[in-house]
Structure 1
Amino acid sequence: MCGLFYLFGWGFMLFIGTAFRFHSLSLRFGLSKMFLMMLRSFAEGQFFSVHGHHLGRVL
């Protein structure tokens, strides 16, 4: 069981390293874009929870 987790983790790290090596620019751009989208959705959720849900329906 422990060896299976170890092998899975090693393969995952190898996959991540290969992805960063070959697609570092596009991967970083995608990750930053995903992070910005998450941040924006979180900010919008906070804004709508403060200012009421009717504004969310209008927008």
Structure 2
Amino acid sequence: MEIGFEELPVMNLAFVIDKSGSMNAADKMGWVKDAFGIFIDRVRDIDFVSLVVFDSSAR
């Protein structure tokens, strides 16, 4: 029995994104932004998303 996306319980999600200098190589940050944008387009209004960005410290 499959559960439809709408039937899933509320999701609490946290994303931790590395913004250090190593992410500048080969447009890695661009890939992160694209992937996160695709994800955000699919999150439901009832879900919670936290975002932590860090380089030498978390923000």
Shared fold, TM over 0.5: no
User: Greater relative contact order (Cα 8 A, min sep 6): structure 1 or 2?
Assistant: 2
**TM-score, normalisation: structure 1:** 0.34
TM-score by length of 2: 0.34
- Structure number with the higher helix fraction is 1
